[in-house]
Amino acid sequence: MAPIDWKNKYLRLAPGAALKNLEVPFVYHIAKDELYEIDETAAAFFLSCDGTRLGRDLTDDAEFVAYGIEEGLLATTDGPAPVDVAMGERAEPSLRYLELHVTHRCNLRCAHCYIGDPGAVSDMSVDEAVGITRAFSEMGGLRLLISGGEPLMHKNLKDYLRQISTYPVRRVLFTNGTLMSTASIGWLDVHEIQFSLDGWREGHDRLRGKGAFDKTMAGIRIARNAGVDVSLSTMIHRYNLEEFERMAAFAEAIGAVEWGIDALCVAGALAGRRDLLVSHEACVPLMSYGFGGGYHGASEGYACGRHLMTVMPDGRAAKCGFYMDVPVGDARKGLRQCWEKIDHIRLSALSCSDCRFIGECRGGCRFRAPEPLAPDPLMCRLYGVSP
């Protein structure tokens, strides 16, 4: 491939790339879901790549520009092609992942749903959802996790997606897949669709109802045929323990970009279905099937959820969906103000802070731990220590 004569072309930030002012500056490739850390000098250069100046007037660092073009971070045009380039206002810690529940309506009644009976529910309005998404984008957000309930039941989801299509965030739809159709995939303007797959036919239907598996599989095929990135999410339960090899082969066959696997936490509907629970010892070997980065992880020196927040259809914001009964505020009135009230737990505050695996485990799940600062028993089993 011949080198591009970028010096005599107009240089601009590539479509699908965005500058993110996190703890340090980054360039984010939205389609690849990949962050590239840059220094302040490089950040100033990318800010100048607004499509109005020739490459030779911006830099003489040919190697750096060639790398940026090769990675899809920079693009060239023959004539001026103005584009808005901005870094946004920094928030520390950075809010990178927002799980936005646009509705709690759902067409299934899953035996393990942590929401349980949502009672009288309504959709979040499009204006409210757009406003929260805009605030998330302005705070440097990376992945917008559009969730529910079943988000495909939101009566104005198409309009919402249309209005946020220009925001520089990766749009990820969380779905049970049963309502996916060739018609809806045509307007589902998202980068990734995460399907809940809680086993093969028997295991999946035990949780989600008879016939759900076949409908979910049909939804996955529709998404893959449309060229949309597909990821999977699985909860370990008593009736899918022997089905992971088959699910693993399926995940490979469809080219899943991520497979999140976790153990059940007793909340919502699961409180009445404890027959689904299995021991942590049984969960540990199955978790190794998972792959991909995920978004619940901790960061250096802190426990889980350091960069995540969840917002409910009524605007309640909490550190994650399991804590919706202790909200920190109403995101419709100010997403940043809610984020600033989130309690971020230091690893040094945990009762297991002296464990030799604390740097790898990072405290595990705080909801699953029996007390706020206690060890997560599943992680203890994973690392072979006593909780």
Q: Are residues 206 and 226 in the same domain?
A: yes
Amino acid sitting at position 201: R
> In 142-198, where does DSSP find H-type helix?
157-163, 184-187
How much is the pLDDT for 296?
A: 65
What average pLDDT score do residues 322-347 get? 95
Q: Are residues 335 and 369 in the same domain?
A: no
Q: Is the pTM of this model over 0.75?
A: yes
Q: What percentage of the chain reaches a pLDDT higher than 90?
A: 87
Q: Are residues 56 and 164 in the same domain?
A: no
Q: Are residues 46 and 172 in the same domain?
A: no
Q: Which helix (H) or strand (E) holds 285?
A: helix 280-287
Whether 84 is in a domain gets the answer no
Q: Are residues 42 and 111 in the same domain?
A: no
Return the CATH number at 232.
3.20.20.70
Q: What percentage of the chain reaches a pLDDT higher than 70?
A: 98
| DSSP-assigned beta bridge partners for residue 329 | 317
pLDDT in tens, 116-142: 877 777 899 999 999 999 999 999 999
Whether 315 is in a domain gets the answer yes
Q: Are residues 188 and 302 in the same domain?
A: yes
Q: What's the pLDDT band for 211 if we cut at 50, 70, 90?
A: very high
Under DSSP, the state recorded for 145 is: E
Q: What's the pLDDT band for 75 if we cut at 50, 70, 90?
A: very high
- Structure-token pair, residue 288: 């190794």
Under DSSP, the state recorded for 47 is: H
Whether 90 is in a domain gets the answer no
Q: Are residues 21 and 165 in the same domain?
A: no
Please state the domain count of the chain: 3
Q: Which helix (H) or strand (E) holds 340?
A: helix 335-340
Q: Are residues 171 and 22 in the same domain?
A: no
Contact yes or no for 181/225 (Cβ under 8 A): no
Q: Phi and psi for 181 in degrees, rounded to 5? A: -145, 165
Whether 340 is in a domain gets the answer yes
Domain that holds residue 264: 97-344
Q: Are residues 340 and 202 in the same domain?
A: yes
Whether 83 is in a domain gets the answer no
Rg (CA), the chain: 22
Q: Using the predicted structure, report yes or no on whether residue 298 has a pLDDT greater than 80.
A: no
Whether 148 is in a domain gets the answer yes
Of 26-40, 85-99, 138-152, minimum mean pLDDT range? 85-99
3-state secondary structure 12-27: EECCCEEEEECCCEEE
How much is the pLDDT for 2?
A: 64
Whether 205 is in a domain gets the answer yes
How much is the pLDDT for 352?
A: 95
How much is the pLDDT for 116?
A: 81
pLDDT in tens, 222-274: 999 999 999 999 999 999 999 999 999 999 999 999 999 999 999 999 989 99
More confident residue, 122 or 353: 353
Whether 191 is in a domain gets the answer yes
Q: Are residues 372 and 313 in the same domain?
A: no
How much is the pLDDT for 117?
A: 79
Contact yes or no for 66/55 (Cβ under 8 A): no
Q: What is the dihedral of CA 322, 194, 34, 95, to 10 degrees?
A: -20
- Structure-token pair, residue 332: 């419709």
pLDDT in tens, 162-188: 999 999 999 999 999 999 999 999 999
How much is the pLDDT for 1?
A: 56
